């Protein structure tokens, strides 16, 4: 399997007014060519920050303490700002969760998509607008030619998201990062957007990093999945393996908390305790204060993300043979 993206032990802090937040702690995963990789976890666990680190779009308060990110064999953390600017929009792109705040309200959407093509592919304005109309048609937007002159506020949320997808695919990138791409649309449009992403993935030969908190979306769309907790990677494996036999106690707890058919009227299970503050994260395993299997060692020793079944990795001392 050829890896398009490799992240190894990425460690990242944020400087805040209250102190240094330990946002990512040795996060590791791979994305193969042509693969849809899901990144799931609770709000604030570090999913979006991980994506922004790949694109080098982090705020100035972010401090990368260690690790590596390789894209097609090239170390992204060693590249200059100019080199990254050329990569973004051409070889790797991102669709953000709220298209209304991602599109510029003062320019027609045709000009916004055309701008990507003039900057990265050197097309003149007429050629770029013609390509933009073609892309609008590819993502299922009606009256593609007429839409070129319309402004973002004139479109529905679903249409705005399709414009963002068209813009992301304008230069035929190799990696598409989709950050909660269905959050701003209703359930019917969610299915349409996900079907569109899978269709375009096959058509363009994309690799996709899909960020979500919705396990149902992961089950329907992702080849493999990584489960994050409080800035750490708890588990990585094939989606079917993680759903059928989760290894990490956090993933097991999440699975038990999912609503199930036939369980109407029964209380939903929850995970005891609270998500820890990243200003003062727990020592050892960050999940140990909430873990039903926690041992004394868990508070002192940080577990490694190791393969315990073929293609299935988890960061838990239970599988390392550790005892009290």
| 255, 214, 90, 172: CA torsion to nearest 10 | 100
Judge if pTM exceeds 0.85: yes
CA-closest candidate to residue 67, choices 79, 84, 53: 53
Whether the per-residue pLDDT at 144 is higher than 90: the answer is no
Contact 54, 92 (CB under 8 A): yes
183 Cβ contact partners less than 8 Å away, ≥ 6 residues apart = 97, 98
Cα–Cα distance between 250 and 276 in angstroms, integer? 14
Mean predicted lDDT score pLDDT of the chain:
91
Q: Could you give the C-alpha distances from 274 to 96, 102, 121, 229, 290, in angstroms and in order?
A: 28, 32, 48, 12, 8
Average pLDDT of the segment spanning 227-242:
97
For the ranges 45-59, 61-75, 191-205, which has the lowest average pLDDT?
Answer: 191-205
pLDDT in tens, 256-309: 887 766 666 667 778 888 999 999 999 999 999 999 999 999 999 999 999 999
For residue 226, the 8-state DSSP code is E
SS3 content of the chain, % helix, strand, coil (to 5): 35, 25, 40
Rounded to a whole number, what is the largest CA-CA distance in the chain?
69
Provide the strand spans (E) within the chain: 3-16, 19-32, 36-40, 62-71, 74-75, 92-95, 175-179, 207-212, 224-229, 232-238, 306-309, 312-314
């Amino acid at each position: 399997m050829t890896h398009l993206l490799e992240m190894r032990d990425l460690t990242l802090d944020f400087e805040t007014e209250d102190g240094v937040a330990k946002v990512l702690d040795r996060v590791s995963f791979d994305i193969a060519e042509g693969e849809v990789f899901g990144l799931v976890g609770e709000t604030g666990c570090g999913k979006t920050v991980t994506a922004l680190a790949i694109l080098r779009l982090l705020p100035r308060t972010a401090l990368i303490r260690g690790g590596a990110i390789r894209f097609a064999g090239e170390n992204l953390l060693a590249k200059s700002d100019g080199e990254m600017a050329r990569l973004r929009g051409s070889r790797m792109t991102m669709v953000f969760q709220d298209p209304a705040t991602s599109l510029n309200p003062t320019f027609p959407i045709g000009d916004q998509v055309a701008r990507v093509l003039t900057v990265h592919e050197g097309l003149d304005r007429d050629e770029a607008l013609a390509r933009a109309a073609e892309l609008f048609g590819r993502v299922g937007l009606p009256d593609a030619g007429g839409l070129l002159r319309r402004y973002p506020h004139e479109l529905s949320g679903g249409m705005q998201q399709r414009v963002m997808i068209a813009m992301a695919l304008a230069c035929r990138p190799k990696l598409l990062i989709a950050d909660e791409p269905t959050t701003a649309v209703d359930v019917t449009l969610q299915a349409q957007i996900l079907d569109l992403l899978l269709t375009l993935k096959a058509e363009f030969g994309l690799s996709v990093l899909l960020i979500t908190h919705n396990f149902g979306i992961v089950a329907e769309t992702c080849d493999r999945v990584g489960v994050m907790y409080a800035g750490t990677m708890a588990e990585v494996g094939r989606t079917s393996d993680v759903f059928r036999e989760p290894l990490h106690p956090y993933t097991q707890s999440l699975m038990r908390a999912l609503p199930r058919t036939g369980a109407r009227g029964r209380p939903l299970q929850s995970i005891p305790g609270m998500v820890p503050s990243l200003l003062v994260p727990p020592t050892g395993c960050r999940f140990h204060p909430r873990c039903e299997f926690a041992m004394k060692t868990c508070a002192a020793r940080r577990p490694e993300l190791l393969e315990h079944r073929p293609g299935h990795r988890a960061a838990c001392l239970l599988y390392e043979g550790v005892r009290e």
